[in-house]
């Protein structure tokens, strides 16, 4: 039998790199080429290699994989049936060495499967005589997947002697291989591939014409050419179904119905796969759009297209085989590489080994299964950017959302209705929403701006173009998941049915860590709605909301996440615009005021959230963002929060102690959801228990401060903390903490019966082992015989080398002075020991789930404690922010009764840091009450108009959030909504021009603003021609001042507007002051709000400051002068025709229409009843005339 040859194109991981480097010329051996050739020819002429027999087996060097050291030159170590023999090198063995060197350089014909036997070498070894002894491990699943070994022969061979077939199995968690040794079978020359015939051709009767004379030894360049030729040949044999990719339904790529998630594999291909390949392709064909990390031993491997991605994106080393190309990464670095792939926008699937090699044997023995013998692997998780759950993969403390959308609309111009469901998978919190929106999708856009979801799930063909554009323009990096209607994106009925049969909320559901919960699922199939969370009960009669939930549940189920998340029961109803309880900040307002992201690079720098969020706990930060999305409009609730902040401002010791206790605090909200899912590591479980102990200790320590608190909210919070000490005491007495930090959760005796029983079994086996050693000492008369563990071959009986042992003893290893053996009795005991240890390991694994179950039984209590700490953290954050605002700084005062008003004295923009911008000029703002409701603001370019508008709105948000305000005095009524129209930008993604964007936002204000609203409009009308823009600005300002009655700041560069509204009692004319040096053409901005009108915008001066060429500026000044002169002339002619302003004509026309029509007027007169009679009409006309007279008196 010829020496074994490694397949040249089979590569392994980085730890096998030495295999490729160390094979080659052996140390201390100089082979003479001509002599080697003669020896080979002579050997072949005499009939080939000797047949292996019981006394003469294949030398170990021929079995060693590349890179492993061969035995010393003076001895050749052989292994046969567990016995080692040492033979002196012969001439024939030298021939075999030379022949093996030649064999390595030849290509492997992968198609000749009948003449091949696959052997995979592991890295296991033991020692014998001071040298390393290589132990071979293999597994049936690898027989056509790893290194392939060809058995070629010369035309003449000696008769073969039969050897007993034996299988070597090793319990190796990192190498699940089996070696199936077969007796060598004769190979017909007709079946030998042509490449081998050419390389090994020789005559059975003569040496003449032997090809070895010129081809036995290849140069490096020849080897490279040969490898290139082999690779080219294999490229022609690429799987045809991977060359023309189709989905499982047979739709090719590019087809409208193509499903990128699946892959079609023809039945003929399945029949040719090895068991391992079948296992891989069963998973990969159902997740074709996902990068699959496939666990093998201590590595995760990526194959085919996934391997190409790993090689292209991250330069991972790629094998050069055409089919099943592979890259690999160590198992310990999975989180790192998964995060890298996810950051690039890929989905990542994780396939894990569900058993060890020994566990596989035990399973096969117990079930007597005839299935293909391959280690059981399962898809355990699929990771996407919007559904990450493990802390190691999450990049920040803020929530990451996956959002499901169900939109119902018949046409793009009709009002849409939405069903929404979104989940933060890291905490397991579901939120449900359902609402009817306006044509511009204001609520929908607001929700998107509040959440900024990372991933969406939608119904294919059912999402309108408008909604699609909002999503694309708001979140360009959004991950889209389109699901098929009904089958995947469930309707309401299917959703309710799936929830019922899945048993998400059944009390019978068990948190089984090993995943075998089919029985519990069957028992839970009849659960009633009584066990459903309250929010879910409310949603049951809302079809769109339930359908959105159904689409999300289907998607989470495909990711193996639905059960662990939904079963938490953490469901809430979400309203993006809370009309009755909150100050409404719609999506455009959040964007214009830079609440969560700035307008420069989209980051948090310079935003209100960055300024105010000083929370130190991760769950506190998430809670604070929700507070900022929904400031309160209830004066009582706001004052309760302000009372708490006032108490905390006066308690610096409490602030310091809270900071000391909760700095670097773990994210308990996320971790307790992982405990519920059963995926929390032991280390994190101990961290959670320690954190709750620390939390309870801190609450007790805070009593010395809270007893002096007068704030009702603070007192309520500390009284609401549940008593967790009794729960924590159970875990203190349940297992050994020190042992758990280093190994596993080891219960104390009496806690878990089955664990106590298996420990007793192990004790008995160990006692039997000691008894057996005592018996061996007595029978052999060797009192010093001991057990010796060598690698994984444990309990080897070590005795002096001169002692004779029984024939049924099997030698395993040895040194110069001792040999080590197993005997049949010992082997049986060791087998029993290993099986008991495997059982113990499985019990320990299940015990972890049992402890998690006991913890999760009190999930709501743990969560309440976390929420209380989060709220205190948020209150302290507002306290710190208030202290950091500098002086002047005041507590806002709220007046709920009467019309809207606000009074800010010496107000500064809060995002301007004191000490950095010490020259920031504060301003007073008075609106409503005894002042006009609207300020018409003028001033030079860059004079601070936009900043003044924003700072007033930001101050309102801070006040209603419960924070102090950077002003000397702040008095206001609670506002219901802030509307903003700032800037001049088009929206290409939504297909809107600059002017269209302006009018869309303005239209929303005019339709929805109330007397309790705050409106800011910055230079309305700039997006169109001068006259059109002026007309729009004029009409909108008039409508705001006379019809709606809201408070407003309206900035403009239209000077004539100030003339038209100069006598309007509802409008105050103010401007941002400046000083102008006409000689030097310089403008000094004073940033002070003063009464009156700015005479010019000083655009030419700003142009000079910006570096516009002087000649251009001078020409612009000439044109501006002519334009102003003609405008004044037109104004003079118009004033001669009538002294009444255009607004008066508009008011009279409106009043007269109201007086003469059946429809009631809106905004000036009282509303009439729907059923009009003649008397009612006359009364109504009288009221209208009275209103006209009142209007004339004001003028």
In tens, the pLDDT along 113-170 reads 333 333 333 333 333 333 343 333 333 444 334 333 333 333 333 444 444 443 333 3
Residue 460 and residue 1162: Cα distance in Å, rounded? 43
Instruction: Please report the pLDDT score of residue 8 as a whole number.
Output: 38
User: 957 falls in which pLDDT band (50, 70, 90)?
Assistant: very high
Does residue 113 sit in the same domain as residue 64? yes
pLDDT band at 1111 (very low <50, low <70, confident <90, very high): confident
What distance in Å separates the CA atoms of residue 98 and residue 43, rounded to the nearest whole number?
A: 12
Integer Cα distance of 971 and 901 in angstroms:
8
Cα 7 to the center of its chain, rounded Å: 40
Q: How confident is the model at residue 355 (pLDDT cuts 50, 70, 90)?
A: confident
Mean pLDDT of 711-735: 92
Residue 785: name the closest of 794, 797, 802 by CA: 797
The answer on 118 and 215 residing in a single domain is yes
List the beta bridge partners of residue 158. none
Q: Per residue in 811-827, pLDDT tens?
A: 999 999 999 999 999 99
Average predicted confidence (pLDDT) for the chain: 77
In this structure, the chain runs to a length of 1195
Q: Are residues 1048 and 1147 in the same domain?
A: no
The residue among 217, 235, 253 that closes a domain is 235
Give the separation between CA 103 and CA 799, rounded to whole angstroms: 41
What spatial distance separates the first Cα and last Cα of the chain, rounded to whole Å? 117
User: What total number of domains does the chain contain?
Assistant: 8
Q: Are 466 and 341 in a shared domain?
A: no
Tell me: pLDDT of 375 over 80. Answer: yes
Task: Examine the fold and report which residue of 576, 597, 623 is the final residue of a domain before the chain moves on.
Answer: 576
| 1017 found inside a domain | yes
State residue 112's pLDDT score.
36
Model pLDDT, residue 374: 81
745 found inside a domain: no
> Does residue 73 or residue 454 have the better pLDDT?
454
Residue 1107 has pLDDT above 50, yes or no: yes
pLDDT (tens digit per residue) in 653-709 = 999 999 999 999 999 999 999 999 888 989 999 999 999 999 999 999 998 888 888
pTM exceeding the 0.85 threshold for the entire prediction: no
C-beta of residue 621 within 8 angstroms of C-beta of residue 398? yes
CATH number at 846 reads 1.10.1420.10
- Strand-pairing partners, residue 925, are 904
Which of 344-348, 377-381, 507-511, 839-843 shows the lowest mean pLDDT across its residues? 507-511
State how far the Cα of 671 lies from the Cα of 618, in Å rounded to an integer. 11
Cβ neighbours around 637 below 10 Å, total: 15
Question: What is the pLDDT confidence band of residue 792, given thresholds at 50, 70 and 90?
Answer: confident
Q: Which domain holds residue 482?
A: 401-576
What is the band of 616 on the pLDDT scale with cuts at 50, 70, 90? very high
For the chain, what percent of residues have pLDDT higher than 70? Answer: 70
Half-sphere exposure in the Cβ direction for 667 (13 Å, CA): 22
Q: Which of 228-242, 675-689, 1175-1189 has the lowest mean pLDDT?
A: 1175-1189
Strand positions, DSSP E, 159-241: 166-169, 178-181
pLDDT of residue 1155: 54
Confidence label for 878 from pLDDT (cuts 50, 70 and 90): very high
CA dihedral 798, 801, 805, 808 (to 10 degrees): 70
Q: Mean of the pLDDT values across residues 441-448?
A: 92
User: Measured between alpha carbons, how far is 771 from 300 in angstroms, rounded to an integer?
Assistant: 43
Q: Is residue 1028 part of a domain?
A: yes
Distance CA 797, CA 818 (A): 10
The Cα 281–Cα 265 span in angstroms is 9
What pLDDT is stored for residue 169 in this prediction? 38
Q: Are residues 1069 and 944 in the same domain?
A: yes
Q: Does 608 fall in a domain?
A: no
Q: Which of 433, 446, 439, 437 has the alpha carbon at shortest distance from 466? A: 439
pLDDT at residue 1060 greater than cutoff 90: no
- Sequence-ordered strand ranges (E) for 833-913: 893-894, 901-907
Give the whole-angstrom CA distance, residue 978 versus residue 984.
19
pLDDT digits (tens, 9 = 90+) for 52-86: 443 333 333 333 333 333 334 343 333 333 333 33
Q: Is the pLDDT of residue 916 over 50?
A: no
Residue 99 falls inside a structural domain: yes
Dihedral Cα 210, 212, 215, 218, nearest 10 deg: 180
Verify that 1056 and 1122 share a domain, yes or no. Answer: no
**Contact by Cβ (8 Å): 944, 1085:** yes
β-pairing verdict for 479-483 and 455-459: parallel
Q: Domain boundary at 354, 383, 412, which? A: 383
91 pLDDT higher than 80: no
The 3-state DSSP class for residue 800 equals: strand
Same-domain pairing of 777 and 643:
no
SS3 at position 976: coil
What does each C-alpha distance from 631 to 592, 606, 893, 1115 come to in angstroms? 17, 20, 15, 51
Judge whether 569 lies within some domain.
Answer: yes
**Of 141, 102, 49, 148, which is closest to residue 373 (Cα–Cα)?**
141
pLDDT digits (tens, 9 = 90+) for 734-775: 888 888 888 788 888 988 899 999 999 999 999 999 999 999
3-state secondary structure 612-632: HCCCCCHHHHHHHHHHHHCCE
pLDDT band at 1087 (very low <50, low <70, confident <90, very high): confident
743 is a domain residue: no
Together in a domain, 953 and 1091 = yes
Query: 277-286, 1006-1015, 1095-1104: lowest mean pLDDT where?
Result: 1095-1104
Own/partner contacts of 474-482, CB < 8 Å, gap of 24 or more, are 474/445, 474/448, 474/449, 474/587, 475/448, 478/453, 478/454, 479/345, 479/384, 479/385, 479/386, 479/454, 479/455, 480/456, 481/455, 481/456, 481/457, 481/555, 482/458
Q: Which two tokens stand for residue 1138?
A: 């009538």
On whether both 719 and 814 belong to a single domain, the answer is no
> Residue 991 is encoded by which pair of tokens?
């297909």
Distance CA(1186)–CA(888), nearest Å, equals 47
Confidence bin at 371 (pLDDT 50/70/90)? low
Q: Assess whether 687 and 762 both reside in one domain.
A: no
User: Would you say 298 and 273 are in contact if contact means Cβ atoms under 8 Å apart?
Assistant: no
446 shares a domain with 520: yes
pLDDT in tens, 821-875: 999 999 999 999 999 998 988 898 888 889 999 999 999 999 999 999 999 999 9
Residues 194, 143 within the same domain: yes
When comparing pLDDT for 879 and 43, which is higher?
Answer: 879
Rounded mean pLDDT of 400-423?
A: 88
pLDDT at 716: 92
Q: What is the mean pLDDT of residues 1100-1114?
A: 80
Gyration radius (Cα) of the chain, Å = 41
Residue 591 included in any domain: no
The residue with greater pLDDT, 842 or 424, is 424
No. of helices (H) and no. of strands (E), the chain: 42, 34
């Amino acid at each position: 039998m010829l020496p074994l040859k490694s397949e040249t194109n089979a590569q392994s991981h980085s730890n096998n790199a030495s295999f490729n480097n160390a094979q080659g010329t052996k140390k201390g051996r100089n082979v003479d080429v001509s002599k080697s050739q003669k020896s080979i020819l002579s050997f072949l002429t005499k009939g080939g290699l000797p047949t292996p027999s019981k006394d003469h087996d294949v030398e170990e060097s021929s079995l060693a994989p590349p890179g492993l050291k061969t035995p010393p030159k003076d001895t050749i170590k052989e292994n046969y049936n567990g016995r080692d023999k040492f033979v002196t090198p012969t001439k024939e063995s030298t021939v075999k060495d030379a022949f093996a060197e030649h064999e390595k350089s030849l290509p492997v014909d992968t198609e000749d499967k009948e003449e091949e036997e696959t052997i995979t070498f592991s890295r296991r070894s033991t020692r014998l005589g001071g040298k390393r002894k290589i132990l071979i491990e293999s597994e049936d699943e690898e027989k056509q997947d790893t290194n392939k070994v060809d058995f070629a022969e010369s035309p003449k061979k000696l008769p073969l002697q039969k050897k007993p077939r034996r299988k070597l199995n090793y319990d190796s968690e990192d190498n699940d291989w089996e070696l199936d040794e077969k007796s060598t079978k004769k190979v017909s020359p007709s079946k030998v591939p042509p490449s081998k015939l050419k390389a090994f051709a020789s005559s059975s009767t003569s040496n003449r014409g032997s090809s070895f004379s010129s081809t036995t030894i290849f140069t490096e360049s020849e080897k490279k050419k040969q490898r290139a030729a082999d690779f080219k040949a294999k490229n022609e044999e690429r799987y045809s179904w991977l060359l023309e990719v189709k989905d499982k339904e047979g739709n090719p790529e590019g087809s409208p119905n193509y499903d990128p998630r699946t892959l079609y594999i023809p039945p003929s291909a399945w029949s040719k796969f090895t068991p391992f390949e079948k296992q891989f392709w069963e998973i990969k064909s159902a997740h074709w759009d996902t990068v699959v990390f496939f666990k093998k031993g201590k590595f995760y491997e990526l194959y085919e297209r996934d391997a190409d991605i790993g090689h292209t994106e991250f330069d991972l080393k790629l094998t050069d085989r055409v089919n099943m190309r592979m890259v690999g990464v160590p198992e310990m670095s999975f989180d790192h590489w998964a995060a890298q792939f996810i950051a690039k926008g890929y989905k990542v699937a994780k396939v894990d080994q569900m058993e060890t090699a020994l566990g596989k044997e035990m399973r096969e023995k117990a079930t007597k299964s005839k299935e293909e013998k391959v280690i059981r692997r399962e898809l355990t998780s699929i990771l996407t950017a919007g559904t990450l759950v493990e802390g190691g993969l999450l990049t920040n403390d803020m929530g990451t959302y996956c959002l499901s959308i169900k939109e119902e609309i018949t046409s793009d111009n009709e009002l849409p209705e939405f069903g929404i469901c979104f989940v933060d998978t890291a905490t397991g919190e579901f939120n449900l929403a359902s609402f009817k929106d306006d044509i511009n999708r204001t609520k929908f856009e607001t929700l998107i701006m509040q959440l900024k979801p990372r991933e969406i799930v939608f119904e294919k063909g059912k999402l309108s173009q408008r909604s699609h554009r909002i999503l694309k323009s708001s979140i360009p990096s959004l991950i889209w998941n389109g699901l098929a209607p009904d089958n995947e994106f469930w309707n309401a009925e299917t959703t309710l049915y799936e929830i019922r049969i899945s048993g998400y909320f059944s009390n019978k559901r068990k948190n089984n860590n090993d995943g075998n919960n089919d029985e519990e699922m069957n028992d839970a199939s009849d659960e009633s709605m009584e066990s459903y969370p309250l929010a879910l009960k409310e949603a049951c009669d809302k079809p769109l909301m339930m359908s959105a939930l159904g689409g999300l549940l289907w998607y989470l189920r495909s990711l193996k996440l639905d059960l662990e998340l939904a079963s938490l029961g953490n469901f809430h109803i979400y309203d993006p615009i809370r009309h009755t309880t909150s100050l409404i900040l719609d999506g455009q307002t959040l964007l214009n005021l830079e609440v969560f992201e700035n307008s420069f690079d989209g980051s948090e720098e310079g935003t209100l959230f960055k300024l105010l969020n000083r929370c130190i706990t991760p769950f506190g930060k998430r809670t604070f963002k929700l507070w900022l999305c929904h400031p309160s409009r209830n004066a009582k609730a706001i004052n309760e929060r302000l009372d708490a902040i006032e108490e905390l401002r006066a308690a610096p010791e409490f602030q310091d102690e809270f900071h000391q206790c909760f700095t670097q605090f773990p994210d308990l909200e996320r971790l307790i959801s992982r405990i519920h899912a059963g995926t929390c590591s032991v280390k994190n479980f101990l961290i959670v228990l320690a954190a709750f102990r620390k939390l309870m200790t801190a609450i007790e320590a805070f009593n010395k401060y809270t007893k002096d608190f007068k704030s009702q909210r603070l007192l309520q919070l500390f009284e609401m903390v549940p008593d967790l000490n009794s729960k924590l005491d159970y875990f203190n007495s349940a297992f050994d903490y020190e042992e758990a930090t280093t190994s596993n959760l080891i219960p104390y005796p009496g806690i878990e019966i089955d664990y106590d029983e298996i420990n007793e079994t192990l004790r008995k086996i160990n006692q039997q082992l000691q008894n057996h050693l005592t018996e061996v000492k007595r029978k052999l008369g060797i009192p010093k015989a001991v057990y010796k563990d060598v690698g994984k071959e444990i309990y080897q009986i070590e005795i002096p080398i001169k002692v004779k042992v029984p024939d049924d003893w099997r030698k395993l290893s040895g040194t110069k002075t001792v040999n080590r053996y197993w005997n049949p009795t010992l082997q049986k005991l060791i087998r029993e020991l290993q099986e008991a240890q495997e059982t113990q390991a499985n019990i320990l694994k299940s015990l972890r789930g049992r402890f998690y179950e006991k913890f999760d039984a009190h999930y709501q209590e743990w969560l309440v404690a976390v929420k209380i700490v989060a709220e205190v953290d948020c209150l302290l954050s507002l306290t710190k922010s208030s202290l950091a605002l500098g002086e002047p700084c005041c507590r806002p005062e709220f007046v709920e009764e009467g019309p809207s008003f606000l009074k800010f004295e010496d107000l500064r923009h809060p995002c301007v840091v004191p000490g950095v911008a010490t020259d920031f000029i504060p301003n007073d703002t008075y609106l409503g009450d005894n002042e006009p409701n609207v300020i018409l603001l003028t001033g030079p370019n860059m004079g601070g108009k936009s900043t003044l508008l924003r700072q007033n709105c930001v101050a309102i948000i801070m006040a209603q959030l419960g924070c102090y305000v950077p002003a000397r005095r702040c008095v206001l009524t609670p506002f219901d909504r802030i509307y903003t129209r700032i800037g001049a930008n088009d929206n290409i993604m939504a297909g809107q021009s600059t002017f269209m964007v302006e009018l869309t936002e303005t239209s929303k204000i005019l339709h929805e603003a109330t007397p309790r609203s705050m409106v800011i409009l910055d230079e309305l009308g700039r997006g169109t021609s001068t006259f059109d823009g002026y007309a729009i600005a004029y009409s909108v300002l008039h409508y705001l001042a006379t019809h709606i009655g809201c408070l407003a700041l309206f900035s403009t560069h239209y000077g004539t507007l100030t003339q038209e509204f100069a006598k309007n009692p509802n409008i105050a004319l103010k401007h941002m002051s400046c000083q102008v040096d006409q000689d030097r053409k310089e403008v000094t901005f004073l940033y002070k709000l003063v009464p009156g009108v700015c005479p010019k915008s000083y655009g030419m001066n700003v142009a000079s400051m910006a570096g516009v060429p002087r000649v251009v500026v001078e020409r612009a000044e000439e044109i501006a002068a002519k334009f102003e002169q003609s405008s004044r002339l037109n104004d003079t002619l118009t004033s001669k025709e009538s002294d009444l302003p255009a607004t008066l004509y508009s008011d009279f026309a409106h009043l007269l229409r109201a007086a003469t029509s059946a429809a009631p007027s809106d905004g000036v007169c009282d509303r009439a009843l729907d059923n009009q009679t003649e008397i009612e009409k006359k009364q109504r006309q009288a009221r209208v005339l009275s209103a006209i007279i009142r209007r004339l008196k004001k003028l």
